[in-house]
Amino acid sequence: MFKALVIENDELGYRTSLQDVSEKQLPDQDVTLEVSYSTLNYKDALAICNKGPIVRQFPMVPGIDLVGRVISSRHPEWQQDDVALLTGWGVGEKQWGGLAQKASVSGDWLVKVPAALSPLQAMAIGTAGFTAMLCVLALEKQGVTPQHGPVLVTGASGGVGSFSVSLLSRLGYEVVASSGRASDSEYLLNTLGATAIIDRATLSEPGKPLAKERWAAAIDSVGSHTLANVLAGMQRDGVVAACGMAQGLDLPASVAPFILRGVTLTGVDSVMCARPLRQQAWQRLAGLVDSALLQQLTRVIPLSEAREGAEQLLAGSVRGRLVVDCR
């Protein structure tokens, strides 16, 4: 038996509880891990608190991120005692996830934890940091360098946004942080390394198809009118990496930035992205992440407090990362 957070949805209603689960109930996948840490993402909080249609089948163990030690493997690449991490692939949504002491997953979904990162650090980075890294790689793939000019990050004080600001700053970019939290200016400027802040309200209302050319590149986790205004405000040949929908799933924009300024819009998906890109992103993160800052921004909670942590996350009272100790 092992401990797991379990979401059930039946005639008794939708409920999440910590339970003793038999190993026999684990999905039949080719690698079984002893989970050391998981993390609480916004998506996990929605699933745990029944605030969005995240979970596709029940009972479900939530947790879209996990790290742990391999205890048995039928997969050629993974041996007992290897330490591996997993983000995405529908784990915690369609497949049992990381908020448990054990997990059984496909070896094809796992990534070796880079030597420079501890398992705890890997989970402090989690899907949010990984997605930010994918966005940076997407900008680099389009040829963006710090010499091109300022890079805008929207949703800057959020999970993906704050990692984006920090990674870009460490790479030498001039980073403009768009945020609704004026009270967080100290955090955005001095802790994360932004060079300027703009009020997100200046981007969130319907705007013109083209605006003044301001940014060489952008990472957008907000979507909707914000993304439309970001596109309209790009410099000639600017590049925008879009990864989120905090304002909305819509994109009420025109083609003007594309056909009159050569702007590129590139999408980022961390859930199903291919393994070679995952490995590249984690290697880059290992070299780039500021471990002192990561520690400062991370709070570790036990599995028994994961539900409470999810509620705090949805209430907006968490800044930084909530790592769950599953041991």
- 220 and 230 Cβ atoms separated by less than 8 Å: yes
Query: If binding is defined by CB under 6 A, does position 179 make contact with ligand NDP?
Result: yes
Using the rule CB under 6 A, which residue among 157, 169, 264, 298 binds ligand NDP?
A: 157
Query: If binding is defined by CB under 6 A, does position 73 make contact with ligand NDP?
Result: no
Query: If binding is defined by CB under 6 A, does position 222 make contact with ligand NDP?
Result: yes
Q: How far is Cα 122 from Cα 171, in angstroms, rounded to an integer?
A: 20
Using the rule CB under 6 A, which residue among 103, 110, 160, 194 binds ligand NDP?
A: 160
Query: If binding is defined by CB under 6 A, does position 159 make contact with ligand NDP?
Result: yes
Query: If binding is defined by CB under 6 A, does position 282 make contact with ligand NDP?
Result: no
Query: If binding is defined by CB under 6 A, does position 243 make contact with ligand NDP?
Result: yes
Which CB sits closer to ligand NDP, 35 or 222? 222
Q: Give the three-class secondary structure for 285.
A: helix
Query: If binding is defined by CB under 6 A, does position 307 make contact with ligand NDP?
Result: no
Residue bearing tokens 């997605």? 131
Using the rule CB under 6 A, which residue among 63, 97, 119, 161 binds ligand NDP?
A: 161
CA dihedral 80, 82, 84, 89 (to 10 degrees): -40
- In the chain, the largest separation of any two C-alpha atoms, in whole Å, equals 62
Query: If binding is defined by CB under 6 A, does position 207 make contact with ligand NDP?
Result: no
Query: If binding is defined by CB under 6 A, does position 269 make contact with ligand NDP?
Result: yes
Which CB sits closer to ligand NDP, 148 or 284? 284
Which CB sits closer to ligand NDP, 35 or 220? 220
Minimum Å gap between C-beta 41 and ligand NDP is 6
Q: How far is Cα 232 from Cα 101, in angstroms, rounded to an integer?
A: 48
Query: If binding is defined by CB under 6 A, does position 139 make contact with ligand NDP?
Result: no
Q: How many residues does the chain have?
A: 327
Query: If binding is defined by CB under 6 A, does position 194 make contact with ligand NDP?
Result: no
Of the candidates 73, 74, 98, the one whose C-alpha atom is nearest the C-alpha of residue 85 is 98
As beta bridge partners, residue 85 has: 67, 111
Minimum Å gap between C-beta 278 and ligand NDP is 12
Query: If binding is defined by CB under 6 A, does position 298 make contact with ligand NDP?
Result: no
Minimum Å gap between C-beta 72 and ligand NDP is 30
Q: Give the three-class secondary structure for 168.
A: helix
Strand ranges, E, within the chain: 2-10, 13-21, 31-39, 65-73, 83-87, 102-105, 111-112, 151-153, 175-179, 196-199, 215-220, 234-242, 264-267, 298-302, 321-325
- Interacting residue ranges for ligand NDP, rule: CB under 6 A: 41-42, 127-128, 131, 155-161, 179-181, 200, 204, 221-222, 226, 243-247, 268-271
